[in-house]
Amino acid sequence: MATKPTEPVTILSLQKLSLGTAEPQVKEPKTFTVEDAVETIGFGRFHIALFLIMGSTGVFWLAGSLLIIGLASVIIPTIGWRWLIRVASIPGIILIVAFKFIPESARFNVSTGNTQAALATLECIAKMNRSVMPEGKLGEPVLEKRGRFADLLDAKYLQTTLQIWVIWLGISFAYYGVILASAELLERDLVCGSKSDSEVVVTGGDSGESQSPCYCHMFAPSDYRTMIISTIGEIALNPLNILGINFLGRRLSLSITMGCTALFFLLLNICTSSAGLIGFLFMLRALVAANFNTIYIYTAEVYPTTMRALGMGTSGSLCRIGAMVAPFISQVLMSASILGALCLFSSVCVVCAISAFTLPIETKGRALQQIK
């Protein structure tokens, strides 16, 4: 019986044999990012609580301004300004307690390499929302480079940074200046041809103190109405502001609103009717709010991701300096010279308008920069 000839074993036959048998593949463990976890967990009770807590801190700022004016009209004439401060501090105390229930940002923890803390935050959110976490292990690359203060002063961003700081300081100076100046102007009753129905209350009972700058002038109901109407102006230009920054660009839009702010500061010195004074204050509040909106958007867009938070933080610090200086001008200097104080506010706004117009980068239609 004939037997089948056997094929000799060669290197070629061994290669064919190795190709024919697939090597077992090692499965890589599943991983997910923070974005994947957020999408999987979905919207729930945690997001509602976060919205209520964080939203109440700036419930669009306008509501708080209107509320404090309304409370002042009721509390100050009856039980005094000290009780107004006590009542006004209650929401802040509640928020301080509420902040204890807000976990640290998972993205921040991941960016700093603290993956375990980020995972704990995501698991807490999933538990509150009665949802589940995605399968696998949380893994996201740690940022190799984070923003430094020196990056803001790099040659590429030096001019932009310095001009942004000037604008933030000037806008804050003008914003808080017009708020404080409103009270001073109403107290001095610049309405032509009429006397204020406010009463002058002398502290301490000595009539000689009425000649001192340290006296208390009680607002009339009409003064509180003027404050409320002018405060509503902060949302009046929002639609035009949105159109302006999208069609004219951030720089031109900001320079126009800053220039108009300077003009209306000077118009406050005009002897006018009650309706005219209300109109000027209304427009000023609308313009200074528009200035804030525009510079906030521009600052967030002009810096890359690695520097964005640092740029916003340093700008906010300059903003606080402007807020601290404003009372010395709108109350101290204005008590000596109304024209001098208003001209100073107007001059600062002109400087900011020029700085906005000459900013080296226009962010309209520009994609957000991820790296420097």
Position 211 confidence tier, pLDDT thresholds 50, 70, 90: very low
pLDDT at 135: 82
Domains along the chain with CATH numbers: 29-143 (no CATH), 148-189+218-371 (1.20.1250.20)
Least confident range of 19-33, 75-89, 152-166: 19-33
Q: How far is 84 from 79, CA to CA, in rounded Å?
A: 8
Report residue 163's pLDDT band, with 50, 70 and 90 as the boundaries.
very high
d(CA 32, CA 178): 50
Least trusted range by pLDDT, from 175-179, 188-192, 293-297, 325-329:
188-192
pLDDT of residue 200: 40
Residue of 329, 21, 364 lying closest to 175 (CA atoms):
329
Min mean pLDDT across 59-68, 138-147, 180-189, 315-324 is at 138-147
- Model confidence at 209, pLDDT cuts 50, 70, 90, reads very low
Report the C-alpha gap between 281 and 226 in whole angstroms. 9
pLDDT for the residue 10: 55
Average pLDDT over residues 108-113: 76
Taking 60 as the threshold, does the pLDDT of residue 67 lie above it?
A: yes
Contact at 8 Å (CB) between 277 and 240? no
Taking the C-alpha atoms of residue 178 and residue 185, their distance in angstroms, rounded to an integer, is: 10
121-135, 178-192, 326-340: segment of lowest average pLDDT: 178-192
Q: How far apart (Å, rounded) are the C-alpha atoms in residues 340 and 350?
A: 15
CA dihedral 255, 256, 258, 260 (to 10 degrees): 160
Query: What is the secondary structure of 40-102 as a DSSP string?
Result: HH-S-HHHHHHHHHHHHHTSTTHHHHHHHHHHHHHHTTTT-HHHHHHHHTHHHHHHHHHGGGS
Q: Could you tell me the pTM of the whole model?
A: 0.70
| Average pLDDT of every residue of the chain | 79
| pLDDT of amino acid 346 | 94
Question: Does residue 27 have a pLDDT over 70?
Answer: no
Q: How confident is the model at residue 59 (pLDDT cuts 50, 70, 90)?
A: low
Answer whether residue 367 shows pLDDT above 50: yes
